[in-house]
């Protein structure tokens, strides 16, 4: 797309440079502008799907929007070099693979997904590669009346990659949007996910699996906004941390006035494998309506000595016993992926990390 955006897109670059660069003090990360070339990725997926372009972006309207001054959102809007537009009115399955290469180690993808009334979609976005890449993804997702979306975000980038994601979801009456996040790679992993339940009986489920080892920095934020009666939501995170990794998990439930009889549940479970880990869980409940149910829970702890002892008494050494416990902690969410080969790859990653 751009051989050199410094030369051909000075106006866009000036807009981006006018914004404050992100600084996540809690996990000790300050973003630095690192790349000078953005080219169009040659291959997005194996499906015959419309590639995103500016005409489509201007055509599709959403009721809610991202923050205008967000650095990474603006970067994806101005300099996207890949992405897809899905407009589904039936029952369909999609698989998309995003992979950088030596010529272009920047993945800036902008994706719009529309699930029409009564449709059902199953979508996998798989980010992978052996070289170190900078990935910045932007998603806008809309589920119309009685539509169902199952969407899987798999991030298994190389060890020194950096990964950023911003997702906005709008769910209409009696629709259901299920999101699954698998953060297995990259030294930096940041996710900001915002769901809006706009009409009666809309439902959202968000599940997140993450692995932190070495000096990884993980900052995850999942927010669900209940704006109509009888809406339901679940936010659940499961992770394993070791070495000197740092993690923040924010689970936010918002009940607006008029969201009567709505139910929101948020929970996170973190397994800590040593003492040098920094792990913060920040559940937040904001309520402007009386007749609702909001629940949140968070737990973080070392390996259960009794479970470890039980497995070692049955012939497993300590490493094998720990691996079994890690697998059992993450398996309930990983097993939901409807792609056997991908599930196997994720289990192999866990095997390698904890061998």
- Domains in the chain, number: 1
Task: State CA 230 to chain mean position distance.
Answer: 26
C-alpha 354, offset from chain centre: 23
pLDDT at 273: 83
Confidence of residue 4 (pLDDT cuts 50, 70, 90): very low
Q: What is the mean pLDDT of residues 27-32?
A: 87
Say how far apart CA 267 and CA 222 lie, in whole Å.
11
Whether 38 maps to a domain, the answer reads yes
Q: Please report whether residue 333 resides in a domain.
A: no
For residue 37, the model assigns a pLDDT of: 66
CA distance 176 to 201: 9
The answer to whether position 286 is within a domain reads: yes
Residue 337 lies in a domain: no
Q: Which of 1-5, 22-26, 71-75, 255-259 has the lowest mean pLDDT?
A: 1-5
Examine the pLDDT at 294 and tell me if it is beyond 50: yes
Does any domain span residue 346? no
Rounded Cα distance between 355 and 350, Å, is 8
* Mean predicted confidence (pLDDT) in 303-312: 61
Asked if the structure places residue 245 within a domain, the reply is: yes
pTM of the model: 0.91
| Cα 255 from Cα 136, distance rounded (Å) | 30
Lookup: tokens for 233? 């939501």
Instruction: Tell me which residue range forms the domain holding 231.
Output: 5-304
Residue 165 in domain: yes
The answer to the question of residue 343 being in a domain is no
């Amino acid at each position: 797309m751009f051989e050199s955006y410094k030369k051909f897109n000075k106006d866009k670059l000036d807009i981006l440079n006018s914004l404050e660069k992100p600084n996540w003090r809690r996990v000790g990360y300050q973003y630095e502008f690192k790349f000078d070339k953005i080219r169009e990725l040659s291959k997005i997926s194996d499906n015959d799907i419309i590639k995103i372009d500016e005409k489509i972006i201007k055509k599709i309207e959403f009721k809610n929007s991202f923050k205008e001054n967000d650095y990474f959102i603006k970067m994806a809007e101005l300099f996207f070099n890949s992405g897809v537009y899905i407009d589904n009115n039936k029952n369909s399955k999609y698989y998309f693979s995003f992979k950088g290469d030596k010529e272009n180690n920047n993945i800036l993808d902008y994706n719009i997904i529309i699930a029409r009334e009564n449709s059902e979609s199953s979508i996998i976005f798989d980010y992978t590669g052996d070289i170190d890449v900078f990935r910045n993804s932007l998603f806008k997702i809309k589920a119309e009346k009685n539509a169902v979306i199952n969407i899987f975000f798999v991030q298994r980038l190389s060890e020194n990659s950096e990964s950023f994601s911003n997702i906005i979801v709008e769910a209409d009456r009696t629709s259901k949007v299920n999101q699954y996040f698998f953060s297995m790679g990259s030294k930096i992993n940041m996710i900001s996910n915002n769901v809006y339940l706009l009409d009666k009986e809309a439902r959202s489920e968000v599940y997140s699996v993450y692995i932190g080892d070495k000096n990884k920095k993980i900052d995850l934020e999942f927010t669900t906004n209940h704006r109509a009666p009888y809406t339901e939501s679940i936010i659940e995170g499961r992770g394993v941390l070791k070495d000197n990794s740092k993690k923040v998990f924010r689970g936010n439930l918002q009940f607006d006035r008029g969201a009567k009889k709505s139910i929101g549940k948020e929970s996170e479970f973190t397994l800590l494998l040593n003492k040098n880990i920094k792990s913060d869980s920040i559940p937040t409940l904001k309520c402007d309506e009386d007749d609702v149910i909001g629940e949140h829970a968070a737990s973080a702890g070392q390996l259960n000595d009794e479970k470890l002892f039980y497995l070692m008494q049955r012939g497993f050494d300590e490493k094998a016993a720990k691996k079994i416990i890690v697998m059992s902690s993450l398996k309930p969410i990983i097993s939901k992926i409807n792609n056997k080969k991908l599930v196997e790859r994720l289990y192999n990653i866990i095997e390698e990390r904890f061998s």
